[in-house]
């Protein structure tokens, strides 16, 4: 098939490259309905692509593609064996869709129309300034966290430099500086050293002393602004992430499991949903096998890329050694999108032969099944969102009976919903505060016990239950709880 001609698929994914930027813009909304809608476009595009594959079609793969697909398979095995897969499933789907975006963008024949990114970049930039003013110097934009904004800005900066949009690149470099992200500035400084080493024969350092001055200023800025408490916290998070890996070194705990499992090691005050080190976190998430194959594929990405894309990818990976930008779904998608653009000139092309006709019906059934399964999955979580909202509305109106009835009905339908179980605990606590009847404390403790069935590693729930059983004088339950804490918590 002539790759100069557009297929139906090319028209469909003309706008697919905007998905990472949609995820960035809506990141701080925290609305699962928006996330699922963005996910749907990626799922639909993938299903459409494999459904309409025909004899003679060409499929593009990047160098190291066998490591790529092996890593994807291992991650799915890790998910299947995760003890908390019901808690991480949405995050894991987002993780998988990053691979989908990478793969589909490799198939895209037309160049991305960068002009369509301008509205997104404008929103990110303007909202960065707004949050900096409102939050008195903390620039977060739509991303809730200054370090995540810095990570995203590094990749955008590299894209703009590659596209020769120098003023935009300069603006996002300023945003990086305004975030005061030590991780980002270390990444830029080390990448600058790397760039200087690679191009040392072409750089006259005596005449370009201004560059050395800038590097010196960045280094002084780092030393002045470094927060040693933050450094100490990171070291402890890294240690606990590595401890998680040592417990399940082969399969890991599942994607984004640090947010749930780390409580068994951490004090409540040190709670974090990220390990603040991408490499250690994927090691604990997926185990050593995924880590090896994925590191090899990252090596192929670095080796196969050039220009400003190459340096942006290197800087983003250095940043990810100290922070969690690559662990967020929006950061993950953007990284893989930029990587796909950077690898477009180093692709293997495979032509589908007539043998494909033998498995074509099964592939089409698979595509249809994936799409229907995702739609049913999305409807479930939209329904849960609406039920949770109804419960909150009734709690605010003090219609506790109605709220409790919705909780019970919802848990019967969706027994793995930890959020609904938490609402049930909240209602019984409000009942007790209002009526003073200890039977409501027993009911509240039952709701918390249900939560521990869903996540037996939550130190916070153990602590609340401990207080409840002491108030109730229930020594038997206290002893049983103490035994379970010794099993599931490493730090009591």
Query: Average pLDDT per run of 10 along the chain, which is 492 residues long?
Result: 55 84 91 95 94 87 94 96 94 96 90 89 94 90 92 96 92 91 89 82 62 68 72 89 94 93 77 90 96 96 92 96 92 96 89 88 95 97 96 94 96 95 95 90 94 93 93 91 89 60
Q: How far apart are CA 287 and CA 294, in angstroms?
A: 11
- 10 Å CB burial of residue 324 (0-12, 13-18, 19+) is buried
Residue with tokens 């109605």: 402
Among residues 204, 456, 183, the alpha carbon closest in space to that of 326 is found at 183
What domains, with CATH codes, occur in the chain? 8-351 (no CATH), 385-488 (1.25.40.10)
Q: Is the dihedral of CA 462, 465, 470, 476 positive or negative?
A: negative
Can you give the pLDDT at residue 266? 75
169: CB partners within 8 A, 6+ apart:
157, 158, 160, 161
Q: Are 426 and 395 in contact (CB under 8 A)?
A: yes
The alpha carbon torsion through 423, 429, 435, 440 (nearest 10 deg) reads: 90
Can you give the pLDDT at residue 4? 46
Q: What pTM does this model have?
A: 0.93
End-to-end CA, the chain: 63
DSSP per-residue codes, 64-133: THHHHHHHHHHHHHHHHT-TTHHHHHHHHHHHHHHHHHHHHHHH--SPP-GGGGHHHHHHHHHHHHHHHH
Q: Are 294 and 95 in contact (CB under 8 A)?
A: no
Can you give the pLDDT at residue 339? 96
Can you give the pLDDT at residue 492? 56
Half-sphere exposure of 485 (CA within 13 A, CB side): 16
Q: Given phi > 0 = left and psi -120 to 50 = alpha, else beta, which region is 287?
A: left
Residue with tokens 């779904």: 329
Can you give the pLDDT at residue 283? 96
Q: How far apart are CA 451 and CA 156, in angstroms?
A: 41
């Amino acid at each position: 098939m002539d790759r100069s001609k557009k297929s139906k698929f090319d028209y469909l994914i003309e706008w697919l490259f905007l998905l990472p930027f949609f995820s960035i813009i809506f990141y701080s909304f925290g609305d699962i309905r928006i996330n699922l809608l963005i996910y749907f476009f990626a799922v639909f595009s993938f299903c459409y692509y494999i459904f309409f594959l025909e004899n003679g079609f060409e499929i593009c793969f990047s160098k190291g593609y066998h490591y790529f697909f092996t890593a994807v398979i291992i991650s799915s095995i890790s998910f299947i064996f995760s003890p908390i897969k019901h808690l991480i499933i949405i995050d894991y789907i987002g993780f998988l869709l990053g691979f989908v975006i990478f793969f589909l963008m490799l198939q895209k024949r037309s160049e991305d129309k960068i002009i369509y990114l301008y509205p997104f970049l404008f929103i990110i930039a303007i909202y960065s300034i707004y949050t900096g003013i409102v939050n008195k110097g903390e620039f977060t934009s739509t991303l809730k966290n200054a370090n995540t904004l810095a990570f995203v800005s590094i990749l955008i900066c590299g894209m703009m430099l590659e596209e020769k949009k120098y003023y935009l690149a300069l603006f996002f470099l300023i945003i990086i500086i305004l975030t005061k992200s030590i991780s980002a500035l270390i990444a830029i400084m080390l990448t600058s050293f790397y760039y200087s080493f690679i191009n040392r024969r072409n750089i006259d350092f005596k005449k370009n002393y201004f560059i050395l001055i800038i590097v010196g200023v960045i280094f002084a800025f780092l030393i002045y602004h470094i927060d040693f408490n933050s450094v100490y916290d990171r070291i402890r998070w890294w240690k606990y992430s590595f401890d998680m890996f040592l417990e399940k070194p082969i399969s890991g705990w599942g994607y984004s499991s640090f947010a749930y499992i780390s409580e068994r090691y951490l004090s409540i005050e040190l709670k974090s949903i990220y390990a603040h080190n991408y490499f250690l976190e994927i090691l604990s998430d997926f185990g050593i096998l995924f880590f090896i194959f994925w590191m090899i594929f990252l090596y192929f990405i670095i080796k196969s890329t050039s220009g400003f894309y190459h340096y942006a990818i290197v800087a983003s990976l250095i940043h990810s050694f100290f922070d969690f930008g690559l662990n967020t779904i929006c950061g993950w998608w953007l990284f893989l999108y930029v990587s796909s653009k950077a690898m477009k000139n180093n692709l293997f092309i495979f032509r589908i032969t007539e043998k494909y006709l033998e498995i074509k019906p099964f592939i089409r059934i698979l595509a249809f099944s994936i799409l229907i399964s995702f739609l049913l999955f999305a409807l479930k979580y939209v329904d849960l969102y609406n039920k949770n909202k109804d419960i909150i509305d009734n709690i605010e109106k003090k219609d506790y009976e109605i709220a409790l009835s919705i909780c019970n009905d919802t848990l019967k339908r969706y027994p793995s919903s930890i959020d609904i179980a938490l609402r049930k605990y909240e209602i019984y606590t409000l009942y007790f505060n209002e009526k003073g009847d200890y039977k409501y404390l027993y009911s509240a403790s039952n709701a918390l016990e249900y939560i521990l069935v869903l996540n037996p590693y939550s130190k916070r729930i153990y602590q609340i239950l401990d207080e409840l059983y002491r108030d109730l004088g229930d020594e038997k339950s206290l002893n049983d709880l103490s035994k379970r804490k010794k099993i599931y918590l490493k730090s009591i």
